[in-house]
């Protein structure tokens, strides 16, 4: 083929459906006889449930049933599938409906099933719950102190787990020896994921076959089925089918098993009718998982020449009132182990206290652990540069892991045996400096300062980890993940040469149908249009762990690739047979099997597929059809990297930050579809910038979510942002044959520190070195005031 | 996010709307629905009966004649933002409301009757000394914008009345109007919104009207600022000095929330006053 389809920016084939409104989201699905559920949620952040009176609610016309936790006593609490590795986890997880106690505002305590959702909602308002309010704590550090209200009997001091990585002694010693030690407390505020589509589920139960069908807004339908059947319902997984229809964004919040999904399934059986539950935005804010929420104390040791020798971190990770599905894994494996960043830091020690507080569950949110790590490391580099009066780009360069050091094992086993796969960190920094014309900016900045204007530039030289694997490393014996992390694919070449691929991962906005088809078309040498990709239904797709952690390309697409190799091998056998040639004399090229040196003596893959399906003349003993299923468990993770630079102007009169330029140079390995990668990076940057400047999940002292709606939670608007300038280098990953690394989270991970560093750079003449996020106008203005230069 | 039950009626004339309003206790008029419907969905408002006035022709359109501009109550923020006959400060203000979708639906009538303390249009309309035309069961009346706003979400409008139009004077040459706003990054509403209207003759300010919204429970007329501007040659230093006088106008009832504390808003008031006045002066020519 003239131009390779792998690597070309073809338009997303999923868009026409989405743009024209044809795509079916959960809310679009209507089943015959379907009823609706509405959930009553606790108005208290911490309370005992004394009693619940449902009589008045039951009496409402159109109400089919009202249920409380006692009606589901036989169902155990939900599983926590990723407990922090190597330590005790004092796990407490939600029940389908809480029975005795609630530990956060928004916990589900009762449910109404009614003919329509308006009636259901009216009746919810009539349920009377007698609560005994208990003392509340919302801050993770406070919760871990003596005398704090206690949330769970099995978690003294509200500690879920006390986990550490790296070498404590070596790090202490290196800090002692360091020429300069910089200390800082750094907060990474709570965020609310805010997918456009909230969560929902529909369930149907067949008494005849004893089978459940559950539609849900999920990033991982196979895992949902496994957790629900094996851990909650105690039935064979074959008795449940889970389908994710089109999912309107997740950002991690739709990976998890939530009480309501199980509740809806259980209700479908109890009520004997199909049932739908769709949360409101208000419920999405209080009852769907939140992200981040770390308080960290850091100490970094450096030599006078800028060589970083030690990094010590203690982090309080707020996990919420109760554990979400993979909550403890995020601030441990995906955070602590990434604290070396792109730097040679010989000594690192990180202690993480996972703490229960009376807040919503905290779990993976786009980037999941890596944004928190990157934010610390990249703030640290600027704090050090400032202290040593070094240029931040030069300090970074000095500490970079050199390009010839890969595969590289960072800081004394901090990655627990894994290695950074490949990288060239100077190349992306140099490219970013060139694109931004850094030197010229510094001159402009100097001039602006003379006229009282504060311009700043911020760097973020990041690394992240995608396609987390291998199962033996991440699993129960290692990092505590209670499952595998391989991925699967089935490839079937039908009689006419049309290819159907089914995958264990599924999109919720990423464009799998396009990129996977590109891989297939490229590999088989067939038209893109001849490939379709099916997903999102446990019926008809092989088991897969789902879409998160930027793993669909680095793991899922590789499974597809591996299947294709075996399909090609079989096609060669059939082709050779059809050509009456020896298998050693034929090759597969451009969609054909041909005799070496004689390209015209060939059979197309379509002809071969036809023969494979009709099977009247196959090689002796060969099974019919071109059909293969692969399960791919990567030998290592992949490690994308890049340098982002942000340029800002700070209005010293108001504290407003204006982003003037944003340049991202990413390296996500080989790129299957540059346009899709750009789209992922754009969205990611917007989210990361929003953390730096605007978003903040705020609880008051009584555990009420003050930022409980979009009126008070500031998601980024397009008008707040400049047009991003994207560039990239391509360093293939040696981990997988596609050379891909993953691109779904890089933008979010990189951008937050770039923006904060830019603002601190702008304010550096005032001696301001750190302000905690979000850098609202007021916080920046206050810092300016306190540093005596309000002007 | 699901409202209580309500009845829906559609009115085809102002008189029909008024009679429907008076037939149904607690009924509310539905204009753009961009304040009322969210409140109903949050179950903060339970009107029981909605009277849709969207199709009443008399309430649409902007007409300029004889030195006055009459703006129909159903004029959307987008139409206002695009209008070249209304004072430039008013179209500027309308252009800062929410986002494009909100501006395409939300109306001037709805905005002033809702009287959200963080709304934008009330501030500018008081500064422009607009008058509001009201129809009710007993006939028509006109009230000045300043008298109309009586408190947080409170106005002079009686039950059963409809705001039919807003009237402002034509902007004469020598007069400039401008709006300067500190946005709430979440909602887009004003945390501080300053409307300034100034008239300049032979280099000096002859008339000034400066009004603040967003930071007090209801629109606040900054008469100290206006007094300091009048009679003065308007340049950077004199404007800045006059802007500082806003502290005399602000009482103890400055609002604060997680986005901006009362102290911060108070500190921002003179900054935004300065910016609005400077822009208005420039437009006055
Ligand atoms: C996302 C979002 C962002 C927004 N941002 C801003 C912002 O930045 N600045 C800002 O100022 N506003 C903002 N708004 C509010 C917006 O301007 C509304 O449109 C406006 O406040 C109400 O106008 P409406 O036509 O939608 O009125 P409705 O919601 O239909 O009605 C509001 C109230 O006024 C009454 N009413 C309406 N018209 C009349 C009439 N002619 N006579 C008598 N009573 C009447 C109704 O009965 C109701 O009580 C925002 C709204 C949204 C949803």
CA–CA distance, A735 with B224 (Å, rounded to integer): 71
Q: What is the pLDDT of residue B1?
A: 77
List phi, psi (to 5°) of A155. Answer: -130, 75
pLDDT digits (tens, 9 = 90+) for A279-293: 999 999 999 999 999
Q: Which residue ranges in chain B fall short of pLDDT 70?
A: none
**Other Cβ atoms closer than 10 A to A754:** 31
pTM of the predicted structure, to 2 decimals = 0.97
DSSP H helices, A70-167, are 117-124, 140-143
CA–CA distance, A536 with A517 (Å, rounded to integer): 16
Q: Which residue has the tokens 């092989």?
A: A542
- Mean pLDDT in residue range A107-126: 97
Q: What is the pLDDT of residue A791?
A: 44
Q: What is the pLDDT of residue B285?
A: 84
Q: A583: which DSSP letter?
A: G
> Is A761 within 8 Å of A382 (Cβ atoms)?
yes
The pLDDT confidence band at residue A264, using thresholds 50, 70 and 90, is very high
Q: What is the pLDDT of residue A787?
A: 87
Q: What atom in ligand 1 is closest to the CA of residue B122?
A: 11
Is the pLDDT confidence value at A30 over 60? yes
CA distance B81 to chain A (A): 17
Is the pLDDT confidence value at A790 over 50? no
Inter-chain contact A121–B182, Cβ cutoff 8 Å?
A: no
Residues with CB under 6 A from ligand 1: B 28-36, 38, 73, 97-98, 102, 105-107, 109-111, 113-114, 116, 119-121, 162-163, 187-189
CB burial class (10 A; 0-12, 13-18, 19+) of residue A89?
Answer: buried
Inter-chain contact A654–B5, Cβ cutoff 8 Å?
A: no
Strand order, beta sheet including A586-589: A586-589, A592-595, A598-604
**Pick from A58, A60, A304: nearest CA to A181:** A304
> Is B269 within 8 Å of B196 (Cβ atoms)?
no
Give the count of alpha carbons within 13 A of A55, CB side only: 2
Measured in Å, residue B102 CA sits from the centre of ligand 1 at 9
For A701, the token pair is 């002292």
Strand order, beta sheet including B139-144: B62-65, B68-72, B162-169, B131-136, B139-144
Inter-chain contact B186–A707, Cβ cutoff 8 Å?
A: yes
Q: Give residue A189's Cα distance to chain centre.
A: 17
From B185, B261, B271, residue closest to A654, measured CB to CB: B271
Phi-psi region of A615 (alpha: psi -120 to 50; beta: other; left: phi over 0): left
The sign of the CA dihedral A609, A614, A620, A626 is positive
Greatest Cα pair distance, chain B, in angstroms, is: 61
Q: What is the pLDDT of residue A3?
A: 66
Strand order, beta sheet including B28-30: B7-10, B49-52, B28-30
Nearest 5 degrees, angle CA B67-CA B199-CA B130? Answer: 45
CB burial class (10 A; 0-12, 13-18, 19+) of residue A267?
Answer: buried
Give the count of alpha carbons within 13 A of A149, CB side only: 19
Mean pLDDT, all residues of chain A? 97
H or E stretch covering A678: helix A674-693
CA–CA distance, A481 with A494 (Å, rounded to integer): 38
Reported residue count of chain A is: 791
> Is B237 within 8 Å of B145 (Cβ atoms)?
no
Q: A127: which DSSP letter?
A: -
For A151, the token pair is 């949330």
CA distance B150 to chain A (A): 24
pLDDT digits (tens, 9 = 90+) for A743-772: 999 999 999 999 999 999 999 999 999 999
> Please, what are the domains in chain A?
31-134+196-249+254-287 (3.90.1170.50), 291-411+420-469+636-788 (3.30.365.10), 486-632 (3.30.365.10)
Q: A156: which DSSP letter?
A: G
Is the pLDDT confidence value at A52 over 90? yes
> What percent of chain B has pLDDT above 90?
98
- Mean pLDDT in residue range A494-514: 95
Q: Give residue B179's Cα distance to chain centre.
A: 11
Minimum mean pLDDT range among A468-472, A692-696, A752-756:
A468-472
> Is A50 within 8 Å of A132 (Cβ atoms)?
yes
Torsion of CA A506, A507, A510, A515, to 10 degrees: 50
CA of A707: which chain B residue's CA is closest?
B258
Mutate to test the pocket of ligand 1, among B56, B102, B159 (most ligand atoms within 8 A of CB): B102
For A690, the token pair is 């929003």
- Mean pLDDT in residue range A780-785: 96
Ligand 1 atom 14: the closest Cα is on which residue?
B98
pLDDT digits (tens, 9 = 90+) for A56-65: 999 999 999 9
CA–CA distance, A300 with A298 (Å, rounded to integer): 6
**Pick from A742, A743, A640: nearest CA to A420:** A640
Torsion of CA A426, A432, A438, A439, to 10 degrees: 40
Whether the ω angle into residue A591 lies within 30 degrees of 0, i.e. cis, is no
- Which positions in chain A touch B39 (Cβ < 8 Å)? none
Strands (E), A551-617: 586-589, 592-595, 598-604
pLDDT digits (tens, 9 = 90+) for A354-392: 999 999 999 999 999 999 999 999 999 999 999 999 999
CA–CA distance, B158 with B148 (Å, rounded to integer): 11
Q: How is A412-464 classified by DSSP, letter by letter? A: GGTTTT--B----HHHHHHHHHHHHTHHHHHHHHHHHHHTT-EEEEEEEEEE-
CA–CA distance, A296 with B39 (Å, rounded to integer): 40
The pLDDT confidence band at residue A412, using thresholds 50, 70 and 90, is confident
From A118, A654, A694, residue closest to B185, measured CB to CB: A694
CA distance B264 to chain A (A): 6
Q: Helix, strand or coil for residue A703?
A: coil
> Is A50 within 8 Å of A122 (Cβ atoms)?
no
Q: How is A220-289 classified by DSSP, letter by letter? A: -HHHHHHIIIIIII-S-GGGEEEE--B----TTTTSS--HHHHHHHHHHHHHSS-EEEE--HHHHHHHS-
Is the pLDDT confidence value at A76 over 50? yes
CA distance B103 to chain A (A): 15
Q: What is the pLDDT of residue A310?
A: 98
For A222, the token pair is 């196979």
Q: Which residues partner with A672 through β-bridges?
A: none
The pLDDT confidence band at residue A789, using thresholds 50, 70 and 90, is low
For chain A, the residues whose C-beta falls within 8 A of a C-beta of chain B are: 117-118, 121-122, 125, 280-282, 653-654, 693-694, 696, 698, 706-707, 710-715, 717, 719-720, 776-778, 781-782
Q: Give residue B89's Cα distance to chain centre.
A: 11
The CA-atom distances, in angstroms, between A135 and each of A11, A45, A95, A149, B259 are: 55, 9, 22, 6, 27
- Mean pLDDT in residue range A463-486: 93
Q: Which residues partner with B142 through β-bridges?
A: B133
Q: Which residues contact B99 (CB under 8 A, 6 or more apart)?
A: A717, A719, B188
A347-365: b or e for each residue (b if 16 or more CB lie within 10 Å)?
Answer: bbbbbbbbbbbbbbbbbbb
Q: What is the pLDDT of residue A477?
A: 86
Q: Which residue has the tokens 């009287």?
A: B115
> Please, what are the domains in chain B?
7-52 (3.30.43.10), 57-169 (3.30.465.10), 175-284 (3.30.390.50)
- Which positions in chain A touch B1 (Cβ < 8 Å)? 280-282
**Other Cβ atoms closer than 10 A to A452:** 10
> Is A666 within 8 Å of A428 (Cβ atoms)?
yes
Ligand 1 atom 27: the closest Cα is on which residue?
B110
CA–CA distance, A416 with A423 (Å, rounded to integer): 19
> Is A254 within 8 Å of A197 (Cβ atoms)?
no
Judge if ipTM > 0.90.
Answer: yes
């Amino acid at each position: 083929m003239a131009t390779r389809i792998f690597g070309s920016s073809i338009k997303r084939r999923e868009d026409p459906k989405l743009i024209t409104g044809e795509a079916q989201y959960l809310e679009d699905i209507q089943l015959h006889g379907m009823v609706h559920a509405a959930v009553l949620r606790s108005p208290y952040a911490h309370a005992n449930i004394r009693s619940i009176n449902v009589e008045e609610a039951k009496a409402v016309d159109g109400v089919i049933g009202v249920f409380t936790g006692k009606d589901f006593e036989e169902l155990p609490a939900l599983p926590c599938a990723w407990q922090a590795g190597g330590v005790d986890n004092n796990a407490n997880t939600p029940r389908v409906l809480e029975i005795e106690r609630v530990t956060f505002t928004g916990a589900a305590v009762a449910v109404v099933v009614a003919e329509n959702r308006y009636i259901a909602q009216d009746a919810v308002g009539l349920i009377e719950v007698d609560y005994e309010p208990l003392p509340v704590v919302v801050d993770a550090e406070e919760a871990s102190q003596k005398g704090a209200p206690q949330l769970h009997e099995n978690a003294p001091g509200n500690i879920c787990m006390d986990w550490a990585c790296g070498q404590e002694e070596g790090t202490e010693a290196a800090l002692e020896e360091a020429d300069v030690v910089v200390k800082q407390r750094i907060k990474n505020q709570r965020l609310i994921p805010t997918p456009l589509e909230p969560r929902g589920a529909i369930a149907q139960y067949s008494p005849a076959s004893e089978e459940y069908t559950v539609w849900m807004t999920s990033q991982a339908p196979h895992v949902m089925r496994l957790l629900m059947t094996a851990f909650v319902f105690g039935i064979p997984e074959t008795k449940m089918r889970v389908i994710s229809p089109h999912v309107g964004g997740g950002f991690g919040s739709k990976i998890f098993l939530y009480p309501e999904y199980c509740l809806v399934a259980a209700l479908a059986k109890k009520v004997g009718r199909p049932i739908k539950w769709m949360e409101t935005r208000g419920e999405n804010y209080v009852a769907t998982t939140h992200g981040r929420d770390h308080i960290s104390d850091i100490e970094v040791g450096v030599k006078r020449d800028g060589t970083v020798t030690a990094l010590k971190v203690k982090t309080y990770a707020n996990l919420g009132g109760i554990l979400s599905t993979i909550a403890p894994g995020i601030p441990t494996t995906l955070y602590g182990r990434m604290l070396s960043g792109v730097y040679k830091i010989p000594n690192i020690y990180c202690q993480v206290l996972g703490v229960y507080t009376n807040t919503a569950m905290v779990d993976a949110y786009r980037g999941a652990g890596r944004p928190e790590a990157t934010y610390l490391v990249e703030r640290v580099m600027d704090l050090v540069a400032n202290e040593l009066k070094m240029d931040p780009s030069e300090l970074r360069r000095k500490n970079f892991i050199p390009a010839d050091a890969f595969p590289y094992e960072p800081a004394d086993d901090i990655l627990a045996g894994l290695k950074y796969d490949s990288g060239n960190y100077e190349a992306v920094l140099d490219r970013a400096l060139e694109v931004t014309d850094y030197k010229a900016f510094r001159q402009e900045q100097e001039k602006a300062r003379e006229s009282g204007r504060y311009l700043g530039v911020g760097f973020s030289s990041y690394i992240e980890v995608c396609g987390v694997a291998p199962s033996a490393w991440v699993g129960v014996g290692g990092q505590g993940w209670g499952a595998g992390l391989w991925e699967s694919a089935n490839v079937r070449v039908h009689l006419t040469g049309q290819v159907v691929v089914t995958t264990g991962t599924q999109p919720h906005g990423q464009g799998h149908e396009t990129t996977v088809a590109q891989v297939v078309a490229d590999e088989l040498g067939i038209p893109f249009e001849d490939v379709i990709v099916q997903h999102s239904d446990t019926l008809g797709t092989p088991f897969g762990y789902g879409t998160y952690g930027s793993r669909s390309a680095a793991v899922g697409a590789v499974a597809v690739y591996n299947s294709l190799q075996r399909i090609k091998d079989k096609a060669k056998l059939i082709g050779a047979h059809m050509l009456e040639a020896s298998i050693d004399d034929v090759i597969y090229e451009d969609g054909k099997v041909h005799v070496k040196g004689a390209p015209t003596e060939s059979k197309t893959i379509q002809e071969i597929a036809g023969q494979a399906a009709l099977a009247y003349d196959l090689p002796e003993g060969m099974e019919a059809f071109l059909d293969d299923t692969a399960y791919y468990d990567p030998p290592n993770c992949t490690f994308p990297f890049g340098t982002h630079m942000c340029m800002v102007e700070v209005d010293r009169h108001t504290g407003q930050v204006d982003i003037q330029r944003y340049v991202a140079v990413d390296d996500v390995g080989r790129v299957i579809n540059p346009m899709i990668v750009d789209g992922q990076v754009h969205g990611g940057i917007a989210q990361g910038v929003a953390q730096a400047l605007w978003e903040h999940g705020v609880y008051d002292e009584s555990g009420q979510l003050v930022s409980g709606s979009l009126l008070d939670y500031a998601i980024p608007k397009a008008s707040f942002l400049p047009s991003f300038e994207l560039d990239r280098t391509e360093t293939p990953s040696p981990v997988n044959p596609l050379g891909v690394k993953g691109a779904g989270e890089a933008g979010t991970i990189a951008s937050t520190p770039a923006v904060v560093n830019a603002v601190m750079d702008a304010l550096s003449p005032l001696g301001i070195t750190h302000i905690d996020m979000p850098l609202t106008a007021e916080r920046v203005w206050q810092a300016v005031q306190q540093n005596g230069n309000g002007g | 996010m699901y409202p209580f039950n309500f009845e829906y009626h559609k009115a085809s004339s102002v008189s029909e709307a008024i009679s429907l309003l008076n037939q149904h206790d607690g009924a509310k008029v539905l204009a753009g629905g961009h304040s009322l419907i969210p409140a109903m969905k949050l179950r903060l408002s339970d009107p029981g009966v909605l009277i849709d006035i969207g199709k009443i022709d008399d309430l649409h359109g902007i007409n300029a004649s004889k030195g006055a501009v009459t703006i129909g109550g159903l004029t959307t923020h987008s139409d206002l933002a695009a209008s070249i006959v209304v004072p430039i400060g008013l179209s500027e203000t309308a252009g800062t409301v929410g986002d494009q979708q909100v501006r395409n639906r939300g109306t001037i009538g709805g905005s002033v009757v809702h009287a959200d303390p963080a709304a934008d249009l009330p501030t500018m309309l008081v500064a422009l000394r607009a008058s509001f035309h009201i129809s009710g069961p007993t006939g028509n009346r006109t009230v000045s914008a300043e008298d109309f706003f009586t408190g947080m979400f409170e106005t002079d409008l009686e039950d059963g009345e409809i705001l039919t139009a807003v009237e402002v004077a034509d902007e004469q040459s020598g007069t400039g109007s401008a709006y300067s706003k500190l946005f709430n990054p979440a909602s887009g509403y004003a945390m501080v919104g300053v409307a300034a209207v100034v008239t300049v003759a032979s280099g000096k300010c002859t008339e000034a009207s400066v009004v603040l919204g967003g930071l007090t429970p209801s629109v606040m007329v900054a008469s100290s600022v206006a007094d300091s501007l009048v009679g003065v040659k308007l340049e950077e230093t004199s404007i800045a000095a006059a802007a500082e006088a806003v502290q005399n106008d602000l009482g103890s009832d400055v609002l604060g929330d997680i986005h901006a504390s009362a102290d911060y808003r108070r500190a921002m008031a003179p900054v935004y006053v300065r910016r609005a006045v400077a822009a208005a002066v420039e437009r006055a020519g």
